[in-house]
Structure 1
Amino acid sequence: MGTTTDPTNTDESAIDTYEVLIVGGGVAGLSAATFTARASLDTAVITAGESILKRNAHVENYPGFPAGVNPRLLIDMQRSQATRNGADMVHGRVTRLKHVGTADGDLDVSDDARFLATIAGDADTDADAAGNDAAGDAGSGATAATDRTIAAERVIAASWADASYLDPVDPDRREAGSKTYLEDDGDGRTTVEGLYAAGRLAERYHQAVVAAGDGARTAITLIHDAEIPFYHDWVAPEGYFTDRGREVPPGCEEVSETERRARERESIAAMQEYFATPHEDRQRTHPSLVDDDLGRVPGTDR
């Protein structure tokens, strides 16, 4: 597990190593983080900039919200879910991803680490920036502070739209006009071993629910590649497996009726808190339309 999430750390010998590093704190990245963390893989999400989802006024096609949901609230809820399940959020912007090489021998890096990510911290960002996309949205308003390095065994690239930080590892890409996408096998594996892609960077349909599902699929692909015991991420009622003479499979859990009711009450309380008042963040729009680094609409309260 990483020992710190402070991107202003200047001790070059203090290299955190994670089993999974996710670049991008939007819908796809946070969905992936929830799955890898729940599979007991040490997971860090690099978040900075501004998630494109937050430019939406209201999300009305995401399952589970009959009347729609504030997109900024949706990101907050996803981030909380990822951290609740054990993922670390690191505030900063990935500027370079490279393979661990012999020149890095003086760094205290795990033998299992394949990649080194250089992360620029943000000296001056909006208060909610810790929940935003991480590696290339030009509307972030972030000012680079000091660099920090994180090592990782596997990386999921779920950022948009600048993927130049991947140049040193050189995955296959496809250019489509002004856009660049990573080539993958359909399950998130890129042409670079240990590097995965999810969401819009993998040229998936530009819808929040598709991004969430793709983040989950890529994470499950990674989990299987990591060769850790995993069947399904299920919470089943007591006896679901064992009353049929089966052991509870890896990744699954059986809970008693008492525990089920306790978890339900906790989830109800959490949802009531999330939806008690309108979200306080100001509305965003496309950054080209306003003179504001974060794309905030003048005169709006949220």
Structure 2
Amino acid sequence: MYDIAIVGGGVAGRSAGIFTARAGLETVILSADESILARNAHLENYPGFPGGVDARTYLELLREQAAEAGCTTVADRIVAVTPRAENPSVTPREDGSPEAGFVLEGENESYAARRVIAASWPDSEYLTPLDVGRRQRGSKHVVQTAETGRTAVDGVYAAGRIADEPHQAIVAAGHGSKVALAAVQDSETAFYHDWVAPAGYFTGRDRDVPPACEEIDDAERRRRDERARERLRDALAEPNDERPTMHPNVDRD
């Protein structure tokens, strides 16, 4: 059984996955469609890219980062989420956990997870078996949440646009990360901050390095910096020839 199942592989979903996986939670991202950000012609308001960045290149880097953090990605469309106790169709791994969790029914197969993060704008129909509280917004529905992304159902969260957050990539990334941290907290995983500090930052004050933190020496810092610059050079060396996805309502003929 997965610790976290994230429905939606866009900016909010993969940002959430980076944090849950780095916290040591077994995370699966279930995604059937490309991110709506793929419709963007050029991403120009994302902090850290003063000249902007090709949206498809950004999404490729995000997918790579989530994978390196430890996320598993499965291409499947989720059609229903039910409490595991009410749906015995999946027999998850038994490891003594008292948390019953949920069954996510996909078009291809079913999945079991202790916690679910919905990040699948505009689709939220699969949540109707759960009384999470959906509100109509135009022709679509958003999920009602607390500030942390928690819904009315314990163990179910919503992140990004589906949680009625603004339709901006940086907001989706930030909210997905914030919701992930709520899920990490609820899992009772030992966690302080996801923070890489210079050697001595904690131990130099006679403190143990807190959970999810790390101290690295200067040689390791330089090694990681070189690797990061090399990855960016490779990603940005050539133009991305993939064209933006047009809005489905536009006649392409």
TM-score normalized by the length of structure 2 = 0.95
CA distance 1:108–1:154, change in 2 (3 Å) = closer
Q: 2:150 matched to which residue of 1?
A: 189
Q: What is the 5 A alignment of 1:1-302? A: 17-101=1-85, 104=88, 107-110=91-94, 112-120=99-107, 147-291=108-252
- Residue 288 of structure 1 aligns to a residue in which SS? coil
Structure 1: any 5+ residue segments left out of the alignment? 1-16, 121-146, 292-297
- Residue 62 of structure 2 aligns to a residue in which SS? helix
1:209 maps to amino acid: I
1:200 maps to amino acid: R
CA RMSD of aligned residues (A): 1.5
8 Å CA contact 2:81–2:126 kept in 1: the answer is yes
Structure 2: any 5+ residue segments left out of the alignment? none
1:76 maps to amino acid: E
8 Å CA contact 1:113–1:151 kept in 2: the answer is no
CA distance 1:106–1:96, change in 2 (3 Å) = closer
Moved more, 150-159 or 111-120: 111-120
CA distance 1:166–1:109, change in 2 (3 Å) = farther
How much does 1:169 deviate? Answer: 1.4
Partner Cα distance (2:228, 2:18) in 1: 16
Partner Cα distance (1:163, 1:83) in 2: 25
How much does 1:288 deviate? Answer: 0.7
2:37 maps to amino acid: L
How much does 1:62 deviate? Answer: 0.1
How much does 1:118 deviate? Answer: 1.3
1:116 maps to amino acid: V
- Residue 287 of structure 1 aligns to a residue in which SS? coil
1:208 maps to amino acid: A
Partner Cα distance (1:102, 1:212) in 2: 33
Identity of aligned residues (%): 46
How much does 1:103 deviate? Answer: 5.1
- Residue 159 of structure 1 aligns to a residue in which SS? coil
How much does 1:290 deviate? Answer: 3.3
- Residue 258 of structure 1 aligns to a residue in which SS? helix
Q: 1:132 matched to which residue of 2?
A: none
8 Å CA contact 1:175–1:181 kept in 2: the answer is yes
Partner Cα distance (1:150, 1:106) in 2: 7
Partner Cα distance (2:191, 2:140) in 1: 36
8 Å CA contact 2:85–2:100 kept in 1: the answer is no
CA distance 1:109–1:99, change in 2 (3 Å) = farther
Equivalent pairs counted in the alignment come to 250
Deviations 1:41-75 (A, max 9, x none): 00010122121111110010001111001111111
